[in-house]
Amino acid sequence: MAISVPSILKERKYPFIFIFFLLLVFVTFLLVSDSQSPILIATNNLLRPEEPFSSNPKSSSQSSIPLSSDPTNPPVSGVTGDSSIPFSSDTKEGSTPLSSDPPASNAAIDSSIPFSSDVPKGSSENSTPLSSDPDNPPTSNATSDSSIPFSSDPRSSSESGASLSSSDSKNPPASNATSDSGNPFSSDPESSPVSNSSSESSVPFSEDPNNPTLSKASSDSEIGSSIPVSNASLGSGISSSNESATTNISSNPSTGHYTQVADIEWEPCKGAVAVDYIPCLDNWKAIKALRSRRHMEHRERHCPDPSPRCLVPLPEGYKIPVLWPKSRDMIWYNNVPHPKLVEYKKDQRWVMKKGEYFYFPGGGTQFRNGVNFYIDSIEKTLPGIEWGKKTRVILDVGCGVASFGGALLGRNIITMSLAPKDEHEAQIQFALERGIPAVLSVIGTRRLTFPDNSFDMIHCARCRVHWNADGGKPILELNRILRPGGYFVWSATPVYKKDEWHKKIWRSIVALTESICWTQVTRSFFRSSHIGVAIFQKPASSSCYQTRKENKPPLCDMSSRPNNSWYVPLDSCLVPLQSDVPKWPSAWPERLTDKPPRLPTETDSEEMYKGDTKHWSALVSEVYLGGLGVNWSSVRNVMDMNAGYGGFAAALINLQIWVMNVVPVPVQEPDTLPVIYDRGLIGIYHDWCESFNTYPRTYDLLHASSLLGNLTKRCDVIEVAAEIDRIVRPGGYLLVQDSTEVLTEVSPILKSLHWSVNIYQDQFLVGKKDFWRPA
């Protein structure tokens, strides 16, 4: 527009007035430019701060975000192929790119996780074979393509309204400020740190290429512009007077770095097992008081009351974990410093140590020719198993270091590796450090925390479970969780050895499986690897149950049987199959998006399910992946603490991550965990007022949507925060979607743990853990 200049100024008789006028014009120009600057999260059509999310965990469709400002035309945002990653690693500061191209800079870095299902050859050390020569790193028999290639094309659904906020908080909202940086680190000791330049700043790690441990100087003052974390200056407590520095990264007033710190005196956990402390499995007072250990009672959960608030210390020399897919074959020794298995299982090549690393050559008690040879042999014996198509979800009982599950990842199979915390030192910790799904549990006196009829296959390779013990209760438990028509693959010495003791066990197993109508499909001996494998199949209908010669075991009375598996004793009866047994799910990958066979039959269930899927697809692609400062290239192990129908996990299916979907106890109707398994995903029941069955430092990201508001009504939020801190690795994240009141209550507690905390759009909290531990 034209600016009229007074004639008195044209004559320049008043130079000071003229200069003032020019300054006024310049300042006005700056203000107009700043008001048009890009906002960090450019999703106004997706996120409406004035419409809060629901804190009701029953159905995410009840609390979904409107997907469009136009209710008649909701946008369909799919997570499809490699183009689903809506951010670029070289974005400029302050903007939120929504490019469909994967990060170019990270792709060239050795330690970055490739976003396509193909690991680049030649340009990355990830594809370099590892020799089994003890002087060189051994190679895992697992294939390098461990991603799960799938392209989801969610169909359109009706827009769900927003509702209900969580409980009020005593803490007022803190001032809005800045975002935390990404987590740019490298797992390769010979490569430079990976920079995630889409964040405001980077996390400085040691410049020593052979020691990527976070340097003390950087941890004290630079991570996320957070509060000082020097142990010497703070001692064992945390003062509420500590304040964090803030750095503006956005003109969006609803994005902020909260500065309030709760006045909590944190103390370190103490004792011989403090570094690997699992509260509900290491409660020695309760374990010593047990009357019997005959049925593995001492390996079951015995949670202390109240739950501990101490913080688990770090192992000496702990480093940022090796990134996937390298981590499948090698991990830092100092992160899991348990060498017992190296010597104990050296002839079976479970794990080897060389220098600063543990290596996993793909061996095992039953994998004499390597795990891939073993898997191929099973498929040749039973072609109908159809790895990665019909057979998608597997439970591996007594998994060792999870080489079986790790190898199957490359075949589009997700395996829940399961083992107790026993004398096979830290086997589940090895599995999770490698980036392979695993959980601590035991078949003892209680049901496993999985739903009925869920696993496509259950595998046991010398798993040391006495299946015929206690009247056959362990086999009955497998029958409960095995999908109708599913397979039990048993690889053990009684299958092929002919001495009287082994033959007796075999006859007992055959009699037991026949009594529950399992069919013996095959009994094979693999001469080249000198192992025997027997495969049994569960019936697809209940017709056989009615024609048995003896009603032993008896059919369960379903009217009095608890419809959950949380602290429920094992059944001594046979769970009948419904007359309308759900059909086998679709082949993978269609299984992820097709209507699940066990979706509730209510009239609006399918609409709610589709709405939930579309909601998470849009939210993840448009917000989570590009707008919350999370460096997803450093993320492998993820836990969804309130999983619903598994929409969050489904939306992330193209990234090289896996998700443990948790359905909280007490379970709200409908129970969605069976649907999660029908979709080809894995999950578990858990009560978040208690500790989770995992080792410390085993997950890169915990996600909690519409959970904490209800949880704090019956749990101590400080104890919940201590458990989250125990589970998350240094450099890992907590991502919370909840009401402003809940975020305001949680933020100061995380700050007291020296986590950096950022809140976006008054709906999303991103906390990032650093290396601080109390003295």
Q: 3-state SS string over 602-661?
A: CCCHHHHHHHHHHHHHHHHHHHHCCCCCCCHHHCCEEEECCCCCCHHHHHCCCCCCEEEE
Q: Which two tokens stand for residue 687?
A: 């009560």
- Percentage of residues of the chain with pLDDT beyond 70: 66
The per-residue pLDDT for 37 is: 39
Q: What are the residues whose beta carbons fall under 8 Å from the beta carbon of 294, sequence distance 6 or more?
A: none
The per-residue pLDDT for 215 is: 35
> What whole-number distance in Å separates Cα of residue 337 and Cα of residue 325?
21
Q: Which two tokens stand for residue 57?
A: 């965990």
Quick one: DSSP state of residue 539? Answer: -
> What whole-number distance in Å separates Cα of residue 128 and Cα of residue 345?
26
The per-residue pLDDT for 30 is: 64
More confident residue, 254 or 94: 254
More confident residue, 119 or 294: 294
Of 51-65, 587-601, 631-645, which range is least confident? Answer: 51-65
More confident residue, 121 or 382: 382
pLDDT in tens, 224-257: 333 333 333 222 222 222 333 232 323 233 445 5
- Percentage of residues of the chain with pLDDT beyond 90: 56
Provide the 3-class DSSP secondary structure of residue 456. strand
CA distances from 480 to 143, 452, 457, 516, 549 (A): 32, 5, 12, 11, 21
- Using a 10 angstrom Cβ sphere, with 0-12 exposed, 13-18 middle and 19 or more buried, the burial of residue 583 is exposed
Highest mean pLDDT among 162-166, 210-214, 259-263, 390-394: 390-394
The per-residue pLDDT for 16 is: 63
The per-residue pLDDT for 258 is: 59
pLDDT in tens, 249-293: 232 334 455 578 999 999 999 998 899 999 999 999 999 999 999
Phi and psi angles of residue 704, each rounded to the nearest 5 degrees, phi first:
-130, 105
The per-residue pLDDT for 94 is: 38
- Mean of pLDDT over the chain: 76
Q: Which two tokens stand for residue 493?
A: 């010495």
CA angle 643, 648, 654 (to 5 degrees): 140
Provide the 3-class DSSP secondary structure of residue 419. strand
pLDDT in tens, 452-502: 999 999 999 999 899 999 999 999 999 999 999 999 999 999 999 999 999
Q: What is the rounded average pLDDT of the residues 73-92? A: 38
Note if the bond before 664 is cis, omega within 30 degrees: no
> What whole-number distance in Å separates Cα of residue 345 and Cα of residue 324?
25
The answer on pLDDT for 570 being more than 70 is: yes
User: Quick one: pLDDT band at residue 64, thresholds 50, 70, 90?
Assistant: very low
Quick one: DSSP state of residue 46? Answer: T
User: Quick one: pLDDT band at residue 44, thresholds 50, 70, 90?
Assistant: very low
> What whole-number distance in Å separates Cα of residue 637 and Cα of residue 659?
7
> What whole-number distance in Å separates Cα of residue 248 and Cα of residue 94?
9
Its pTM surpasses 0.75: no
Highest mean pLDDT among 34-43, 170-179, 221-230, 395-404: 395-404
More confident residue, 490 or 195: 490
Report yes or no: 656 and 634 within 8 Å, Cβ to Cβ.
Answer: no
The answer on pLDDT for 695 being more than 80 is: yes
Q: What is the rounded average pLDDT of the residues 192-213? A: 36
> What whole-number distance in Å separates Cα of residue 363 and Cα of residue 349?
5
